[in-house]
Structure 1
Amino acid sequence: MFRFMLPLSMGLALVACQTGPLNVLYKEGSTRSQRQEAYDQCVIKALKEVPQNMVTEVSGGYSMPGYVDCDTDGNQTYCTEVGGYTTPITSQSYDTNRNLRSRVINRCLEDKGYAAIQRPVCDSKTERASYAMLTRQPNAADITCVDGQSFDPS
């Protein structure tokens, strides 16, 4: 029975790893290198106009001391520490300009004629190979699935 369960469980694990639809950069007739170049130019422009502003928030770091309880038994004294706790310090860093920079990137790409479209990930090897062989993007209606690099328009 184990011989049959292993392939089944591995197959289910692979299905669980697949992601949902991907956003891809789209402009009919564009090549991969043209899309990458446009994206890179827009990211560089956005970083110049809206630089990173990293902020770190720190929280926690509280300590409540316990007390020492001692008992004497004859000539010996035994002491133990009772209670007390420490909440560790936590920190989180983030870029306060991330959302604004994303909007600048999106406007730049739109000005260059690009848009984000969402398509499912190609399931079969044949579909992935077919998508990889596209030298230029066809009409959006003709793109049934995608494979490879996604575009995050947020």
Structure 2
Amino acid sequence: MAGTRRDASRSKGRGRTLILAASLIALSGCITDGFMPGGDTYAWTKPNTTRAQRRLDINECTLAAAREVPPVMGTEIVPGIYDPGPVFCTGAGFFMTCSQSMGMSIPPMAVPVDYNVKLRQKYVDVCLQKKGYALAKVKFCQSKDDLVTEDCVSADKL
């Protein structure tokens, strides 16, 4: 009976690992490409590489990062706050009457945090650089006319 519990526990752990790996693959495009502060968009680029090859390389690096840099989970406490509520005033001058509506208290919350997220992303970045990729700023075309007049990339090309 005890052996069965241990086996069930192991299979749950494997299931979680598979879910984490699948999530990382699904999010790999979001993690490595996207908006950076200031509104600029960056993407991993490599000359003479197809979109399919780029996706494959990003997925390989993301899976390697998941294997080599496992999650280190912790808990952070988000402090609670008290919002006294809005103040409503009617009348004018000496005859003004003000009242405050009922306030609201938001209690502190414990939030799960993976402390290895940045390290895992750094692993992906270094892996892609070793494969010959560079992070480059790209401008997305707003319309088909832009493809002719401006140096931009359509979203379906990335």
TM-score by length of 2: 0.52
Query: What is the correspondence of 1:87-98 to structure 2 with a 5 Å cutoff?
Result: 87-98=106-117
Does residue 20 in structure 1 map to residue 27 in structure 2? no
- Decide whether aligned partners of structure 1 residues 91 and 126 sit closer, same or farther in structure 2, where only a CA change above 3 A counts: farther
Q: Which has a greater percent of helix?
A: 2
Aligned equivalents of 1:122, 1:21: Cα separation in 2: 13
- Determine if contact 2:141/2:155 at 8 Å carries over to the other structure: no
Unaligned runs of at least 5 residues, structure 1: 1-18, 63-84, 131-142
Give the deviation of 1:147 after TM superposition. Answer: 3.3
| Equivalent residue pairs, number | 100
Q: Is it true that 1:57 corresponds to 2:76 in the alignment?
A: yes
Picking from 138, 154, 158, the partner of 1:147 is: 154
1:114 positional shift:
0.7
Higher relative contact order (CA 8 A, sep 6+): 1
Q: Is the 8 A contact 1:21 1:121 kept in 2?
A: no
Listed one character per residue, the Cα deviations across residues 8-53 of structure 1 (whole Å, up to 9, x for unaligned) are xxxxxxxxxxx93311110000000000000000000001000122
Match for 1:37: what amino acid? L
Q: Which has the higher strand share?
A: 1
Give the equivalent residue in structure 1 for 2:144.
Answer: 125
Aligned CA-pair RMSD: 3.4
The ranges of structure 1 where at least 4 consecutive aligned residues each deviate by more than 4 angstroms after the TM superposition are: 59-62
1:39 paired to 2:46: no
The TM-score normalised by the length of structure 1 is 0.53
Aligned-residue offset at 1:119: 1.5
What is the distance in 1 between the residues matched to 2:105 and 2:152? 52
Counterpart selection for 1:114 from 126, 133, 145:
133
Rounded Cα–Cα distance in structure 1 between residues aligned with 2:114 and 2:138 = 29
Larger CA Rg, structure 1 vs 2: 1
